[in-house]
Amino acid sequence: MRTALQRSAAVVLGVLIGLAIGDALELNAAIVAVLVAASLAVAELLLRLPRAAARQVPVSVLVVLAAGSLNPTSSGWHRAVDTVLGAVVGVVISLAWPTSRVVEARQALQHLADGLSSSLIAMGSGLHEKWSTDQTEEWRRTARTVRERLVVDASKAIDGGRESVRWNVRDRARIELFERLDVVMPRLERAAIGVSVISRGLDDHARLSGTTHEPMASMGALLTALGESIRALALRVLGGADTEDFQRSLDDVRERRVRCVQGASRRARSAVAGHGDSDPGSLEGEWLNYAALLIQVDRIVADLCAPVPA
């Protein structure tokens, strides 16, 4: 409705300007350039019309002037009347059969959760075997895509869906869904940042230690379990899973974290005692990497554990 009113007002303004100056000017390239620049400046800078509506002012001016020069008996008001009638029809149809954007919001959130989950699972699977910089580059690129594109897409879709709920009578029953989405979306956005940091840490560590790195099975299992928890959270928010399924996934993450820390501690003690092939000099860097990964995992888990509206 707001767009229809803005564009109708812009067209009427353009028609008035065209009728006012139509008899005083003869169209040529210089006149057209001046009229387009002046009318667009008035619409955007003075009247503060949106760009799509502001463009209707110079277009209407030129239509009226061109029609008047070709046929002096023609009336520029025909364009204004046609625009207003079209806007009225569009408003009536929009009110009678409003478009729902709830499905789009649900799908966008699901795509974001799937992107985060797939990224973590891919890293987790790769860490079960020897992994190289070729893999870490792909992990980092995928995580960056999720953070920069899917997060933005989901935010826009949820914002649009919230507007749909406000104006669409059929979608009023979905208000509770958007209350949950508004709570969960910032958490998934922070999770996307955390996943990106994890991928960058693995990539940096692989480059420091050489082209390949020994398996980190415990850390891989932890990242895989975390990916499954993010997917379970999305299903819970969207109504596809119950609280018990989500809680079991969180318990699995906690169990995997304990095993990850225990395995890393055993390896560190073995290296310090000289019973392994690991270089004690590289142990400090490896532990810093482990600590950084666990910090990001803990931050994501803390967000996942926070309450969600029923």
Q: Which CATH number fits domain 102-305: 1.10.486.10, 1.50.40.10, 3.20.20.410, 1.20.58.220?
A: 1.20.58.220
Pick 239 or 126 by higher pLDDT: 126
CB 278 within 8 A of CB 267: yes
Mean per-residue pLDDT for 282-293? 67
Burial class (CB in 10 A: 0-12, 13-18, 19+), 178: buried
**pLDDT tens-digit map of 67-97:** 766 665 555 667 677 777 887 887 777 666 6
| H or E element, residue 212 | strand 212-213
**pLDDT tens-digit map of 40-73:** 888 888 878 888 888 888 888 888 777 766 665 5
CB 188 within 8 A of CB 116: yes
- Give me the DSSP letters along 50-74: -HHHHTHHHHHHHHHHHHHHH-TT-
Both tokens assigned to 163: 């507007």
Pick 242 or 38 by higher pLDDT: 38
Both tokens assigned to 108: 């966008």
Both tokens assigned to 128: 């079960």
CA–CA gap between residue 42 and residue 230 (Å, rounded): 50
CB 37 within 8 A of CB 86: no
Burial class (CB in 10 A: 0-12, 13-18, 19+), 173: exposed
**pLDDT tens-digit map of 7-47:** 888 888 888 877 777 666 677 788 788 888 888 888 888 87
**pLDDT tens-digit map of 192-223:** 999 999 999 898 888 876 777 888 888 899 99
* Residue 283 dihedral angles phi and psi, to the nearest 5°: -65, -40
pTM summary value: 0.68
